[in-house]
Amino acid sequence: MSSNRVVVYKSPGEVAVESVDYPSLEVPQEVADHFGITKKAPHAAILKIVTTNICGSDQHMVRGRTTAPQGQTLGHEITGEVVEAGEDVLFVNEGDICSVPFNIACGRCRMCDEGKTGICLNVNPARAGAAYGYVDMGGWIGGQAEYVMIPYADFNLLKFPDRDQALEKILDLTMLSDIFPTGYHGAYTAGVTTGSTVYVAGAGPVGLAAAHAAQLLGAAVVMVGDMVPGRLTQAESFGCVGIDLSTEGELTDKIAEVVGEPEVDAAVDAVGFEARGHGSGAGEAPATVLNDCMTVARAGAGIGIPGLYVTGDPGAVDDAAKEGTLGVRLGLGWAKSHSFMTGQCPVKQYNRKLMNLILHDRAQIAKAVNATAIGLDDAPRGYQEFDDGAARKFVIDPHGMVAA
């Protein structure tokens, strides 16, 4: 039996790589018990991890800003090679390299039938929707590992058409598991189209992915707001306009300097619940970005919200925020007839088409997010540097399959 190692959350600010059991073709016991299904999963496959990425959502757990328990396995951005397939898996085979949507979906329920795979009804006893290696998301083992089990493999896996081409472009293709579709979803649901002016809040990896997606959708100008100089420089490296939120001045004025008016056609919140106020040394103010987006979005505009918001935040600034109740100016959004899109991105709605953009050299997502490969044992360092504001997307390469 092969061994397996996985990144686990130990305590706020601390992760470690630990040995766990090699995956089996079984669903978590709590999933089987809750839904009255067999634990045995002939519909599943086991993947040897080719690449697995550190996500800002993981970082929320590692900062102690969720209810994740000690020992929570981590990692939901997974690309891997099939090394074992259950007897009911018909259309993926050993040796196939596949992207894994971070949403775990059964492919059988009403939500999956409607394409809403982020809120599948049959994979999580706690709520609709599940993910690998995440608190309250069904008990599925994380993918920042050497091997991982993928349920409902025929439905969930996106097979790359050519193995050699996939490995050549792996730093781009690894982004299909989450941040590229998530960023695209944020821009698309905000209504970005040909000639749009766009404001993206946050120059972390999801914000950069949303900015690149807005360019692909035809935006005339994409402005990206952040307070970390390196991240603003990264946004500017592929043609965005950096908006420095650490300096004095109103956001509307800074936008007007770029587009000639204090509003935009579409806004994207790629920050989420750990948002901070503007200005040097500003404290945490979790509704800041949502209110900014409503302020700068023109009447009738859309606001995409791929940034994460939670119902349990033990480190929140006040009791209301601890349960996800924020001081959002909903009246402003109502008065301006804004539309809002929240929740997990339904990755399967986008990943195949975004794969085609990558394979045909139309999308340069690895360059946009500054993809940087590290080894599995380097994961703790990657988490620390990411938390310190590194303008990089860390890609874990457990088996040395990423070309130098």
**What percent of the chain is helix, strand and coil (3-state, nearest 5)?**
30, 25, 45
Euclidean distance between CA atoms 268 and 192, whole angstroms: 10
What is the mean pLDDT of the segment spanning 106-118? 98
Residue 88 and residue 208 share a domain: no
pLDDT at 228: 96
pLDDT at 355: 98
- Residue 1: pLDDT over 70: no
Residue 186 and residue 313 share a domain: yes
What is the mean pLDDT of the segment spanning 92-96? 97
Residue 212 and residue 166 share a domain: no
Which of 324, 341, 358 is a domain's end point? 341
Residue 122 and residue 38 share a domain: yes
Give 305 or 279, the one with higher predicted confidence.
Answer: 305
Residue 123 and residue 54 share a domain: yes
pLDDT at 3: 86
pLDDT at 323: 95
pLDDT at 2: 73
Residue 351 and residue 238 share a domain: no
Asked, for residue 162, whether it belongs to a domain, the answer is yes
Asked, for residue 375, whether it belongs to a domain, the answer is yes
pLDDT tens figures, 297-331: 999 999 999 999 999 999 999 999 999 999 999 99
Asked, for residue 32, whether it belongs to a domain, the answer is yes
pLDDT at 80: 98
Contact assessment for residue 84 and residue 95, using Cβ atoms and an 8 Å cutoff: no
Asked, for residue 30, whether it belongs to a domain, the answer is yes
Residue 207 and residue 158 share a domain: no
* Banded model confidence at residue 114, pLDDT cuts 50, 70, 90: very high
What is the mean pLDDT of the segment spanning 69-92? 98
Asked, for residue 404, whether it belongs to a domain, the answer is no
Burial grade of 108 (CB within 10 A; 0-12, 13-18, 19 or more): middle
Asked, for residue 185, whether it belongs to a domain, the answer is yes
What is the mean pLDDT of the segment spanning 175-194? 98
pLDDT tens figures, 17-29: 999 999 999 999 9
Residue 297 and residue 227 share a domain: yes
b/e per residue 336-371 (b: at least 16 CB within 10 A): bebebbebbbbbbbbbeebbebbbeeebebbebbbb
Asked, for residue 403, whether it belongs to a domain, the answer is no
What is the mean pLDDT of the segment spanning 51-66? 96
pLDDT at 403: 87
What is the mean pLDDT of the segment spanning 339-356? 98
pLDDT tens figures, 120-163: 999 999 999 999 999 999 999 999 999 999 999 999 999 999 99
Structural domain tally of the chain? 2
Residue 205 and residue 137 share a domain: no
On whether the pTM is more than 0.85, the answer is: yes
Asked, for residue 402, whether it belongs to a domain, the answer is no
Residue 374 and residue 290 share a domain: no
Those residues whose C-beta lies under 8 Å from the C-beta of residue 113, and which sit 6 or more positions away, are none
Residue 392 and residue 325 share a domain: no
Q: CB count, 10 Å around CB of 11?
A: 10
Instruction: Compute the mean pLDDT over every residue in the chain, rounded to the nearest whole number.
Output: 97
Residue 140 and residue 235 share a domain: no
pLDDT at 199: 99
CATH number for the domain spanning 275: value is: 3.40.50.720
* Banded model confidence at residue 404, pLDDT cuts 50, 70, 90: confident
Euclidean distance between CA atoms 359 and 97, whole angstroms: 14
Provide the residue range defining the domain that includes 118.
4-178+346-396
